[in-house]
Amino acid sequence: MSASLFDLRGRVAVVIGGTGELCGAMAEGLAAAGAEVVLAGRSEEKAASRLASVSAAGGRGYFVSVDAGEKASLTALLDHVLTRSGHVDILINGAGVNSPTPFLEITEEEYDRIMTVNTKATFLACQVFGAHWLHTAQPASIINLGSMAALTPLSRVFTYSMSKAAVHNLTKNLAREWAPHHIRVNTLVPGFFPAEQNKKVLNPDRVASILNGTPMGRFGEARELVGATLLLASPAAGSFITGTEMVVDGGFQAMSL
């Protein structure tokens, strides 16, 4: 019974940012649960390595190139998946970019780039896929990748924090709007993981501060996001979960003095 709660056989999951470290691991977890996974991103080379792992584990998937900040590209992604797979049930919005630029030195160009990748891309993908599901009256699950920086003020990541806070807010609004249509929208909130977009802000002092503030005393591993992903994606296990911020942080948010 417990295993069947997370059974995703017959489901199709589009993972935007699936060529990255965290979302790639999440995609592998979805495939292991039986879903066909679509890795949507820019790097076919990175996707090939991830898809090889999916295939080796007995899963199925393919890569689609996408510019997540362009609505036409996201529409083309949806059309491609519908043509090839017939339907789509799960959307993960995980594209992300970060920067440690001091606040007064942030240029408009950097601000626009981060907001486009982290916020606009999520907004547009929810529009494109949400419109399809509303039109077809199909139940679905959207998982937006949030950030601890959206919940707890963190130094040195000003625009990133703003962009992710907007994603958290958008998720709650869409959860409320679309719950009557059986479209669940949740935020998965990683604590500190050595994701590609975070490595540039991790100097030795910051690493020490993070580990001192994390009761488990270590960074998370990408595979540790899989369980939460399956819970939020599964129509059986997560059928009454929407609008939540599911935190996977080794206890960081519980830490004070």
Q: Can you tell me the distance from the alpha carbon of 188 to that of 92, in angstroms, rounded to the nearest whole number?
A: 10
**Is the distance from CB of 30 to CB of 94 less than 8 angstroms?**
no
Q: Can you tell me the distance from the alpha carbon of 65 to that of 130, in angstroms, rounded to the nearest whole number?
A: 20
Angle at Cα 162 formed by Cα 159 and Cα 163, nearest 5°?
Answer: 85
**Is the distance from CB of 98 to CB of 200 less than 8 angstroms?**
yes
Strands ordered across the beta sheet of 36-41? 60-65, 36-41, 12-16, 90-93, 140-145, 183-190, 245-248
Angle at Cα 80 formed by Cα 145 and Cα 63, nearest 5°?
Answer: 60
Residues taking part in catalysis: 160
- According to DSSP, the residues that pair with 92 across neighbouring strands are 15, 143
**Is the distance from CB of 11 to CB of 35 less than 8 angstroms?**
yes
Q: Give me the residue label for tokens 């899963």.
A: 59
List of residues 6+ apart from 174 with CB closer than 8 A:
126, 130, 142, 183, 185
Residue 78 tokens, joined: 């949806």
